[in-house]
Structure 1
Amino acid sequence: MPIYYDERKRRWRFTFNKVVNGHRIRVTKLLPKAWNRNQAQAFDQSETAKLFGAATGTIKQRSLIGDAVVAYCQHRCPSLKEGEEIEKELARLHGYYDGRFIDELPEVAREYIEAECDRVTPATLRNKLSYLRAACRYAQKYHGMDNVPDIDLPRVRNERKEYLVRHEMIQVARSCKTQRNGAWRYARAMVRIAFYSGMRISEIMRIDNKDRLGRYTEIVEDGFILYDTKNGEDRFVPMHPKLKVLLKYLPIPYSVTWMQQIVRRAMDEAGFEHITFHDLRHSTASNLINDDSDLYKVGLLLGHKDPRSTQRYAHLAKKTMNEFIRKLG
């Protein structure tokens, strides 16, 4: 059977072992972990046709995007911090790149953008296509596949104009309600912690609670120490006095999905349908800058390794500076 489920690896595996034109061709490939049976069967058909065509000389051998994705997921993703999530995102794109060659990547990108632009934000489109481009570039560099053409990624405006001020944050926190085991109390605490610390939801969930990769956030006397953060470095976050009363709710005993659902409903009920949990982090930065804090210090608090990440708040700093200069007599 050309494909079968490898119980030991817990993945689908493609195999090809045939004599073509007097030459035996043996190929075996472990397919991405996130692929299902239908995706594995589609790969089997295209890969088998490609191998026969290349062996008989009936088709010019070109590199498939699917082959690049397989190589990337098998050899590169295991060493990436978000490797499993990247595999899942690439699997979701499978219908767009299935059977397509690397030199068709610009067309694949355009088709994906046209199909999803009304449903997905430009930033999300850009991120997902960046994963696909990274897979192709990796395969070109390390597996000798075809050169990767340039693709046009959606332009993203990173200026943060939507954020909550303190009384709006309190309104959202008070709207956190559920009948399940008092989970609303923990969701309410998470809203306040995010606003007064600028921590990501994943970093809050890791307070005194290691995740599957061994990352965690430690509570110390005057703040929090975040180990192995998104940018790969440790970070210290000072503890706002209003957070000390919330320490009794840590660690969070519920799943991140359940907490997000409670907060999402609270946002909607409070009239902030356009605000997400992650925007609480942006609210921290925006409120600090409006209170005369400089971009450099805000970047340190948020853990921005690249100063360009903090530049999204520059328009607020300009407003503050304009007000500051008017104080001159």
Structure 2
Amino acid sequence: MSIWDDKKGRKHIGIMVDGQRVHRILAPGATAGDAKRIEAELRAAMAKASGSSPQLGDMPMTTALHLYIQHAASLRSASTSEQHALRLAPWAEKYTAAQAREFTAHAVKDLSTQYAPATVNRSLATLKKGLTIAWERGLTPENFGLRIKFVPVNNKREVFLSIEQVGQIAQHCTKQVQAVIWAALLTGARRGELVKIRAEDIGPDTINLPSSHTKTLKARVIPIIPALRPWLVYFPTEVGVEGIKTAWQRARVKAGMEHVNFHDLRHSCASIMLGLGVDLYTISKILGHSTVQTTQRYSHLQVDAQRQALEKLGNLMVKVS
């Protein structure tokens, strides 16, 4: 037994590699996960020092999660990343790194009853990264992260709102939330980008979004149109992301449109512009897409409009014949 508790409740680690024995006493309050992580690191360090290869195929999966959480501390969305990782904790306690494939099957089966595929994949991605970090540090003999496969995701949504429908939802919100809603429709900006707008970002004719405030990490300039200008007095908004989420959810229920997501405002911005004859390249620049290929998801709307126009032409031919 390499890990045990003494009478005072302190955790001990005792391992032997190539005839060398190491004993560590952990600080009071250390968890079983801490002990397993330190054990794996000690084995790897001793194996490296002796020139032998570490045999760590049975490294606890919880160790990989700990490694990822340490890595996530340096990310822009550290708390969110950690939350995605901790979602896997109940299953990680039951498996080892070498059982990544079995772990994935079990976790996906249980999580899929509570979360959307995209959310499940975000959690799996944290463990995949943690296992990769373990391999890069020499804690495992192979990259067990390669055994984790993501679940299929269909992110395509066909929900496009008219200006009238947006108004029906917005009327149930405060003026501050209404400002964010109309700004989303009139600029195509994401909710996270809108809540980060500062007073100095708003110029006489444009809104400048710094690269640190956009999803693509690319700065963007948004023209201010007359319809948007009255709502800019409510920016910077005093309502946070969670407040907007709650207000939107209540408003869409009152409007009888429970199926509508806030992000559909961005899609609706694109669909309305397409209906007005705006080309896909211009729309891609307005939405801040990295490439025009991302905007191709709206191309079927363009084809539908062309079909309707040709059908009208065809109807004239029928009348003539």
> TM-score if structure 2 supplies the norm length?
0.77
* Superposition deviation, residue 251 in structure 1: 1.4
Q: Are the aligned partners of 1:158 and 1:312 in contact in 2 as well (CA < 8 Å)?
A: no
Is it true that 1:219 corresponds to 2:167 in the alignment?
A: no
For each residue in 1:289-325, what CA deviation from the matched residue of structure 2 results, as whole angstroms up to 9, or x when unmatched?
2333232222222212144432332332332343455
Partner of 1:242, secondary structure, is coil
1:194 CA displacement: 1.0
The CA deviation at 1:48 is 7.6
Residues 1:116 and 2:111 aligned together: yes
SS at match of 2:73: helix
Query: Given residue 126 of structure 2, which amino acid in structure 1 is its aligned partner?
Result: Y
* Residue pair 1:290, 1:317 contacting (<8 A) in 2 also: yes
Q: Does 1:137 align with 2:132?
A: yes
Whether contact under 8 Å (1:160, 1:312) holds in the other structure is: no
* Partner residue, 2:60: 64
Gaps of at least 5 residues in structure 2 are 47-54, 315-321
CA distance in 2, matches of 1:276, 1:311: 21
The within-5 A match list for 1:248-263 is: 248-263=233-248
Q: Is the 8 Å Cα contact of residues 231 and 305 (structure 1) preserved in structure 2?
A: yes
**Unaligned stretches of 5+ in structure 1?**
4-13, 30-36, 177-183, 210-216
Matched residue SS, 1:130: helix
Aligned position for 2:219: 234
Q: Note the alpha carbon deviations across 1:200-254, whole angstroms, 9 max, x for none.
A: 1121111116xxxxxxx81122221111211111111222321101111111123
**Aligned amino acid, residue 305 of structure 1:** S
Which residue, 287, 296, 301 being the options, matches 1:302?
A: 287
Aligned to 1:205: 195
- 1:26-45 aligned within 5 A: 26=24, 41-44=31-34
- Please provide the CA RMSD for this pair: 3.5
Q: Offset of 1:45 from its aligned partner?
A: 6.2
1:225 partner SS = strand
Residues 186 and 109 (structure 1 numbering): CA distance in 2 closer, same or farther, change over 3 Å?
A: same
Q: Give the whole-Å Cα distance in 2 for the aligned partners of 1:115 and 1:250.
A: 42
Distance apart, 1:168 and its partner CA: 0.2
Contact 2:13–2:35 (Cα < 8 Å) also in 1: no
1:159 maps to what in 2? 156
Per the TM alignment, residue 95 of structure 1 is displaced from its structure 2 partner at its CA by 1.1
Displacement, 1:269?
A: 0.7
Superposed counterparts of 1:8-87, under 5 Å: 18=14, 23-26=21-24, 41-44=31-34, 46-47=36-37, 61-62=56-57, 63-74=59-70, 76-87=71-82
Q: Deviations over 1:68-104 (max 9, x none)?
A: 2222322x32332223311121012111222422232
Q: Which amino acid aligns with 2:61?
A: I
Who is 1:276 aligned against? 261
Written as runs of structure 1 = structure 2, the 5 A alignment for 1:280-295 is: 280-295=265-280
TM-score w.r.t. structure 1 length?
0.76
Percent identity of the aligned residues?
A: 27
Letter in 2 for 1:294: D
- Measure the CA separation in 2 of the matches of 1:140 and 1:317: 48
AA paired with 2:62? G
SS of 1:251 mapped into structure 2: coil
Give aligned pairs, total. 292
**Deviations, residues 270-304 of structure 1 (Å, cap 9, x unaligned):** 01111122221222122222333232222222212
